[in-house]
Amino acid sequence: MRLKGKVALITGGAAGIGKTTAERFAEEGAIVVICDVSKELGQATVQALGSEHGFYKVDVMDRKMVQEWVDDVAEKHGRIDVLVNNAGIVRDATLVKFKDGELVKQMSEADFDLVIAVNLKGVFNCTQAVVPYMIRQGGGVILNATSVVGLDGNFGQTNYVASKAGVIGMTKAWARELGRYDIRVNAVAPGPTATSMVASMLPKIVDRFRESIPLGRLGQPREIANVYLFLASDEASFVSGAVLRVDGGLVVGT
């Protein structure tokens, strides 16, 4: 019961790594409040967790909606101990695509802006809403979902890489700014993980991922959730400003 009595907020908590993290936190005694854009999946997740947990339909791009969510949770539970900024999307494309000397396709401005808005601005919105409550109560934990591609780059993911690299930068900045308030800020950088996002990729791309991982397999959501659990717990009481890779020893090819 490493999180017994703690109130934990998880964005994008209705599916994938977010859902599994919610399950692990609940198993360890936390009161878990998730948000997601999918009402159906979110309600199903919380129903499985138990009546003491909660779900809100929230778009992390919407600053007003985020603030109302955070304020309501703080009013109901009296505190917010952990925030996991997990919500994220992909809209993959190469920067430009040429054929026979002609430009035939490129990443759209709309897709670039959308990924930045969700994956980067969304983390900013949620953290800025939560931190005043943590300061007033004397501490807390912020955990941000980045990715190995935020460290290493990746073909065809300019927008996603930029967003995840930005999350790493914000993590380090906030660890410096908020440490004086006993708020720890860390990031988790998963490698290829067996989620619906990876399942939607072409099989040859997934096979390429698998071949580049020395452990010879994709990660499982529970393996990522266990790292979030450690960082959220008092066992990680002197860990802040870290970016922890959870990638099976991934070796990035060219």
| Residues catalogued as catalytic | 160
Taking the C-alpha atoms of residue 253 and residue 208, their distance in angstroms, rounded to an integer, is 9
The amino acid present at 31, given as its one-letter code, is I
Quick one: three-class SS letters along 31-47?
EEEEEECCHHHHHHHHH
Expressed in angstroms, the distance from the first to the final Cα of the chain is: 44
Taking the C-alpha atoms of residue 10 and residue 8, their distance in angstroms, rounded to an integer, is 7
Q: Is the dihedral of CA 211, 215, 220, 223 positive or negative?
A: negative
- Three-class DSSP category at 51: coil
**Range list of β-strands (E), the chain:** 7-11, 31-36, 54-57, 82-85, 96-99, 102-106, 140-145, 183-190, 243-246
List, in order, residues 6 or more apart from 205 with CB less than 8 Å away.
none
Q: Is the dihedral of CA 230, 169, 114, 111 positive or negative?
A: negative
